[in-house]
Amino acid sequence: MARFSVDEAMLRAVALAGRGLGTASPNPVVGCVLLDPDGEVVGEGFHAYAGGPHAEIVALAQAGERARGGTAVVTLEPCDHVGRTGPCSLALIRAGVARVVIAVPDPNPVASGGAHTLRDAGVQVEFGVRAAEAEAGNVAWLTSTRRGRPYVIWKYAATLDGRSAAVDGTSMWITSEPARMDVHALRGTVDAVLAGVGTVLADDPRLTARNLRDGTLAIRQPLRVVVDSSGRTPAGAQVRDAAAPTWIATAAEVGAGPDGRVDLPALLAELHRRGVRAALLEGGPRLAGAFLAAGLVDEVVGYVAPRLLGAGPTALLDAGVTTIAEAIDLEITDVTRIGPDLRVTARPRKRES
């Protein structure tokens, strides 16, 4: 196998971790690369699904005796508790690993402590190698664990002049098929898809993750959440079919905010309790505005079509901004061309208190 520096091994571990996106939840995505004393890769692994072997265990199984005296390069601090699997810290010690290099400490108080256990056993432990890359790859789980609520991605599609539909309400299709396929891939990486009842009444969406070419459903479906303060979702709405689980979240069940509508922080707290670590907010413009006004959006993914309408509904309404000084500033992290469209990814900047 190849010889890696620790830095190269961590980048490989970050890439491996990404293979667990959408399947490892509610656990984190984690990657591990094992190097022998000469720097040769002798094992690698990632956490594929909750309840399955952790990344370190997969890598150790590959390495066998070649792990002894070597270095484990891991994107997240090895767990130190007994859950559905045993502690990875003890597995590394038993395997005779001499050094463990960790990108990010585990913020979960239930599982953290692995570094301390390793050091007590005489294992050399280092933190911080490629921490930024590991944080970015595991951002949903880390954010959710630190804040006690899901990481929220607001996704929208609009024309170049910001319109989400024409004056007559037609919106199929503003963006191209490649862009719509990309949205379905994005749905496959999250635990829940949220939409307002207005969108359900206007468009009757399915909110499932599927292959647009043949209509087949993805094996894993996110929870469909309709934010419906007064319970107006029709019995025959597509979101009520058997294709995926659905929760009609009403103010009576979740709790009402000052405006009498569903209390959004309470909604997110309940979703977190249900194991949702990443949520995709898909519609409509008023619900997106309410989330942004409350500071509950962590990432924005906009699909922008090279088309102009000049009039019609906009992608966003009433985000709590009344003057230019209150504008929600974004930091663009990626711009990618998807067919004829652009996918712009950004994160809201922290506001000065």
User: Is 282 annotated among the ligand-binding residues?
Assistant: yes
Q: How far is CA 342 from CA 159, 170, 179, 282, 318, in A?
A: 10, 21, 8, 17, 25
Closest-CA residue to 148 (of 109, 186, 115): 109
Q: How far is CA 273 from CA 230, 269, 293, 300, in A?
A: 23, 6, 23, 24
Alpha helices in the chain (DSSP H): 6-17, 55-63, 88-94, 114-120, 131-137, 139-147, 177-187, 197-203, 251-254, 264-273, 285-293
User: Is 24 annotated among the ligand-binding residues?
Assistant: no
User: Is 207 annotated among the ligand-binding residues?
Assistant: yes
Closest-CA residue to 61 (of 73, 43, 48): 43
User: Is 353 annotated among the ligand-binding residues?
Assistant: no
User: Is 70 annotated among the ligand-binding residues?
Assistant: no
Let me know: does 36 contact 77? Beta carbons within 8 Å: no
User: Is 144 annotated among the ligand-binding residues?
Assistant: no
345 forms beta bridges with 301, 334
User: Is 199 annotated among the ligand-binding residues?
Assistant: yes
Let me know: does 157 contact 316? Beta carbons within 8 Å: no
User: Is 307 annotated among the ligand-binding residues?
Assistant: no
Length of the chain, in residues: 353
User: Is 116 annotated among the ligand-binding residues?
Assistant: no
User: How close are the terminal C-alpha atoms of the chain, in Å?
Assistant: 52
Q: How far is CA 323 from CA 177, 298, 319, in A?
A: 37, 22, 11
Let me know: does 100 contact 78? Beta carbons within 8 Å: yes
User: Is 32 annotated among the ligand-binding residues?
Assistant: no
The one catalytic residue among 8, 40, 44, 56: 56
71 forms beta bridges with 35, 99
User: Is 88 annotated among the ligand-binding residues?
Assistant: yes
User: Is 220 annotated among the ligand-binding residues?
Assistant: no
User: Is 16 annotated among the ligand-binding residues?
Assistant: no
User: Is 288 annotated among the ligand-binding residues?
Assistant: yes
User: Is 268 annotated among the ligand-binding residues?
Assistant: no
Active site residue 56: yes
Feature table: binding site for substrate? 171, 187, 203, 207, 210, 282
Binding residues: 54, 79, 88, 157, 171, 173, 187, 199, 203, 207, 210, 229, 282, 284-290
Catalytic residues: 56
Annotated binding site for Zn(2+): 54, 79, 88
Binding site feature residues for NADP(+): 157, 173, 199, 229, 284-290
